[in-house]
């Protein structure tokens, strides 16, 4: 018997990393430095790898012959429950790094806690991915500092990126109803302490980068309920192109 809350939670975690990985992979071949092209591709591979583990778990929970590909390739906009931050456009390298760093602040501490989930499979996925996420956070934090404290131009671009992206940070720490119910049984991660850790890291790195958080931060949210930004349909148009053009074939 499927636990609906767990199923929703699994998809929500999967959707975050699926979409961010997809976005990052748009950099492959177009990076500002060859080494960073490789690094961004690496992170993208890790994130989609994590998504794949979670989608496989979702398929197992459904147990009706669905596969890992059914979720990313056959659901429409309203069924996706990723946070809005991951679907934002790559923009310039500063926008990509800030988006990545904000997500990593959440993702790393979240996985660390997830690895202690009372759900065995969740704990396994958390433990596996946290090693990668530790490196992601280190990578994006280093670039926050390097670009924030680099040249006048890089500083200005980073400050702009912070202004543009901060509004999407808080959504990562707002639990859904299903999530809250799962916290009680120790399956889902309680986001309150994760939020404290994430903000501590954020403040530390912002300071070292010589950047400033915007004074007026409002929170954009909706992704967890399927209410996305306008970018999202275009992501799906590409992601699902083959499934839409040639339904039900093996590739």
Partner 1 sequence: MELSLEQKFQEKIDRDERIEPRDWMPDSYRKTLVRQISQHAHSELVGMLPEGNWISRAPSLRRKLGLMAKVQDEAGHGLYLYSAAETLGVERDTMFDQLHSGKAKYSSIFNYPTLTWADIGAIGWLVDGAAIMNQVPLCRCSYGPYARAMVRVCKEESFHQRQGFEIMLTLCQGTPEQKAMAQDALNRWWWPSLMMFGPNDAESPNTKQSMAWNIKRFSNDELRQRFVDMTVPQAELLGIKIPDPDLKLNEETGNYHFGAINWDEFWQVVKGHGPCNKDRLAARVKAHEEGAWVREAAMAYAEKQENRLNKAKTA
Least Å distance, CB 63 to partner 1, is 19
Residue 29 vs 63, nearer CB to partner 1: 29
Least Å distance, CB 42 to partner 1, is 7
Residue 94 vs 122, nearer CB to partner 1: 94
- Interaction site with partner 1 (CB under 8 A): 22, 25-26, 28-38, 41-42, 44-45, 48-49, 51-52, 55, 68-69, 72-73, 92-93, 145-147, 149-151, 153-154, 157, 238-239, 241-243, 246, 249-251
Residue 57 vs 169, nearer CB to partner 1: 57
Least Å distance, CB 109 to partner 1, is 26
Residue 200 vs 242, nearer CB to partner 1: 242
Residue 64 vs 151, nearer CB to partner 1: 151
* Integer angstrom CA distances of residue 143 from 26, 47, 127, 220, 231: 19, 19, 25, 25, 25
Cβ atoms of residues 110 and 190 within 8 Å: no
Residue 229 vs 243, nearer CB to partner 1: 243
Least Å distance, CB 125 to partner 1, is 15
Least Å distance, CB 126 to partner 1, is 19
Least Å distance, CB 69 to partner 1, is 5
């Amino acid at each position: 018997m499927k636990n609906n809350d767990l199923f929703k939670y699994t998809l929500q975690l999967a959707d975050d990393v699926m979409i961010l990985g997809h976005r990052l992979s748009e950099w492959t071949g177009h990076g500002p430095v060859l080494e960073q092209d490789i690094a961004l591709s690496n992170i993208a591979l890790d994130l989609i790898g994590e998504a794949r583990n979670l989608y496989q778990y979702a398929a197992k929970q459904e147990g009706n012959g669905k596969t890992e590909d059914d979720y990313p390739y056959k659901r429409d906009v309203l069924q996706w429950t990723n946070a809005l931050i991951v679907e934002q456009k790559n923009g310039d390298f500063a926008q990509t790094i800030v988006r990545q760093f904000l997500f990593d602040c959440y993702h790393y501490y979240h996985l660390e806690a997830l690895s202690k989930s009372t759900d065995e499979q969740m704990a396994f996925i958390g433990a596996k991915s946290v090693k990668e996420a530790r490196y992601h956070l280190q990578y994006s934090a280093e670039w926050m500092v390097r670009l924030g404290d680099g040249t006048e131009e890089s500083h200005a671009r980073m400050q702009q990126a912070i202004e543009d992206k901060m509004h999407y940070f808080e959504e990562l720490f707002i639990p859904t109803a299903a999530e809250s119910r799962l916290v009680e049984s120790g399956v889902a991660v309680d986001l309150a302490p994760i939020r404290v850790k994430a903000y501590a890291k954020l403040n530390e790195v912002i300071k070292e980068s010589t950047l400033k958080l915007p004074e007026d931060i409002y929170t954009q949210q909706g992704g967890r309920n399927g209410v996305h930004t306008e970018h999202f349909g275009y992501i799906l148009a590409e992601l699902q192109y083959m499934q839409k053009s040639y339904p039900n074939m093996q590739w």
